[in-house]
Amino acid sequence: MVLLLVSALKSFGINQEYQRGVLFRLGRLGTMKGPGWYWLIPFVDRVIRVDQRIITYQLETQETITRDGVAVRVNAVVWFRADSPTQVVTSVEDWRGATVQAAETALRDAIGQSELDQMLKDRVSINHRLQQLLREASLKWGVEIDAVEIKDVDIPEQMQRAIAKEAEAIREKRARIIRAQGEQEAAAKLSEAAEVISKAPGALELRRLQTLSEIGVEHNSTIIAMLPVELVHAARKIAGMPDATDD
């Protein structure tokens, strides 16, 4: 009676929606089971359950050297899942451990093929390259790599100072260019104004009067006496001096 009860328990199995059962009948690979309930032949069939949900794993920090010779410490996060339960069971003993080891190796390879500036400015392309390297190794195990993301990049302190100086120099360069462009535009406007004033004899006198009114508004104690241009020209002619405007 006890033997029949044990046999009945061994012949009945249930898989969750995210589980698949890889069947072995007398040691040979059989039909995959699940999800739901299924029957087995007692003492003949054996089922290994495989969880197909996505696994999130944070890789340990890797110390490596970039292509331009900078020592960095990098860690990353990898998302993977069992795409083919049959391959996962029959191709590798520990598919989770094998995937993690392959991810750490691929991370070092991807960093070694990249320069420091690219790591800091364009992580998307490095993540894509890292995913491709890891996928090439894991597909033969039936493991699908959904995503790989570099999380932290730790660079030496002296390199951080050098990067800060470079960024400061770039900002100063931009400020100087903007200031020079402003001065160039201002000079062009002044040149246009001077040309307009030279064509209108009364414009210079109006500008002179406007300047006097602006000085008076500020309540200054300094008095500036400005003679009209016509008086200056007349004084030059009386004194017999050549006029600057005469050709």
More reliable by pLDDT, 34 or 244: 34
* pTM for the whole structure: 0.62
Q: DSSP for the chain?
A: -HHHHHHHHHTEEEE-TTEEEEEEETTEE---B-SEEEE--TTTEEEEEEE-S-EEEEPPPEEEE-TTS-EEEEEEEEEEEES-HHHHHHH-S-HHHHHHHHHHHHHHHHHHTS-HHHHHH-HHHHHHHHHHHHHHHHGGGTEEEEEEEEEEEE--HHHHHHHHHHHHHHHHHHHHHHHHHHHHHHHHHHHHHHHHHHH-HHHHHHHHHHHHHHHHHTT-S-------HHHHHHHHHHHTPPPTT--
pLDDT of residue 70: 82
pLDDT of residue 247: 47
pLDDT of residue 97: 92
More reliable by pLDDT, 218 or 174: 174
Which tens digits make up the pLDDT trace of 145-168? 999 998 888 887 776 666 666 767
pLDDT of residue 85: 92
Which tens digits make up the pLDDT trace of 14-67? 888 889 999 998 888 888 887 888 888 888 888 899 999 999 999 888 888 888
Which tens digits make up the pLDDT trace of 69-118? 888 888 899 999 999 999 999 988 899 999 999 999 888 888 888 888 87
